[in-house]
Amino acid sequence: MTERLYYNDSFLYDFRASVLDTRELKRDGNQSTWAVKLDRTAFYPTSGGQPFDTGRLTTESKSGVPLEVAVDDVFEDEEEGEVWHRVAKVLPPGAKVRGLIDAERRRDHMQQHTGQHLLSAAFVQLLNAKTVSFHLGEEISTIDIDLPTASRDDLVRVERLSNEVIAQDRAIAVRYATREEAAQMGVRKLPEREGEIRLIDIKDFDLNACGGTHAQSTGQIGGLLIRRTEKVKQGLRIEFVCGLRATKVARRDFEILSEASALYPCAPGDLPANIGKQREEARVVQKREGKLLEELAELKAAQLIHETANKPAPRVIVQVFEDRDANFAKLLAQKLTKSTAGMIALLASAQTPPALVFARSSDLTPDMGSLLRELVTAAGGRGGGGKDFAQGGVPDKEKLRSVLEDATRRVA
């Protein structure tokens, strides 16, 4: 049975051990990946929402030369309950090894995981919201709480309480108890298993069952920042960062904010007002452009109807617009066919992405939707619509004219 050193000292980065067993995991040509089981380990395997440790194992080869192998994954055998270390070189059973854990990665995981305990406890105390699940990622961490929504003020209160406990530098102790004892002690969330339970005790604030790595006091968390929220199936997902990761994220946010404020230019604090003003101005301009585009389409339709007045029905109007987008083509097609009998509009926009619009007057019978779908599909595109109006596109604008020519022959 592997002795798990991280159970008792989360800050143990250097340890001695012996190889109990080695097994091949994967072979790719002459290259193999191996799993090594030690009699004792401080490497943490993926478990409870926390990722594995990385680092290296060193030992002496038969020739006396030091041999070093990277540990790039640590996992637990679910059936045996043993911890295995994935390495690229075989280490024979009985070999004496020195384990060296990536201290920066371990410290980051401890800060995020201990911060999660604080955050979950704060949500219970202030909003009576229980944590349903926890995930510690490479960039961000999340908890899902059984709450449909939370106001900005609620999140500020939870974040403030968490950081107050961090500033108080409260002691964090590891305790062990049976399930019955833990229930009597007021553990925040009991695991669904029997036997001895490992408890993380944040002095006078939180007591919870957990097998992960944690700080020795709340001050070592460094700080906690709630980033954003998202509604999920089981409630509300809270994204947060702690410690040095929070500092890194805050620096990145500040740089982005500084770059954005330099574009206006204005002070960072004035960005919301300036962005709101710009969006309102854009809406006014968009509305004005829409009105002008509709007037232009109406004038163009009147011109085309006049030019084809002496042609027999159906009057087929075919146009490719190099400088107009799909919106103009749709407006023009509607203007041409809505109030004039015997009209068919086969229009295209050569802008990116290339678009096609087929329309007909209500007194005619060709099925525009079926026709367009057939032709654009043959040209590698997609589209469809009803019998009187359809739209779609093709990947290459050079195919627009051939599609229009085929459509003209079919409806003329």
Give the Cβ contact number of residue 121 at 10 Å. 21
Q: Are strands 206-209 and 197-202 parallel, antiparallel or unpaired?
A: antiparallel
Angle at 340 between CA 335 and CA 341, to 5 degrees: 140
Q: Kindly tell me the number of DSSP H helices and DSSP E strands found in the chain.
A: 8, 21
Q: Which of 365, 367, 347 is nearest to 357 (CA)?
A: 347
Check: CB of residue 142 under 8 Å from CB of residue 112.
no
Amino acid 18: pLDDT = 95
Structure tokens at 380: 């590698």
Q: Which amino acid is at 353?
A: P
pLDDT under 50 in the chain at which residues?
A: none
Calpha distance 58→319 (Å, rounded): 74
Domains annotated on the chain, with CATH = 3-101 (2.40.30.130), 106-262 (3.30.980.10), 297-411 (3.10.310.40)
Task: Tell me the three state secondary structure of residue 79.
Answer: coil
Amino acid 155: pLDDT = 98
Amino acid 195: pLDDT = 83
pTM, two decimals, is 0.74
Calpha distance 100→56 (Å, rounded): 5
Check: CB of residue 355 under 8 Å from CB of residue 319.
no
Amino acid 29: pLDDT = 66
Write the Ramachandran bin of 132: left for phi over 0, alpha for psi from -120 to 50, otherwise beta: alpha
For 359, list phi and psi in degrees, rounded to 5.
Answer: -150, 155
- CA dihedral sign, ordered 30, 36, 42, 43: positive
Q: Please give the helix or strand (H or E) that residue 74 lies within, else none.
A: strand 73-76
Amino acid 80: pLDDT = 81
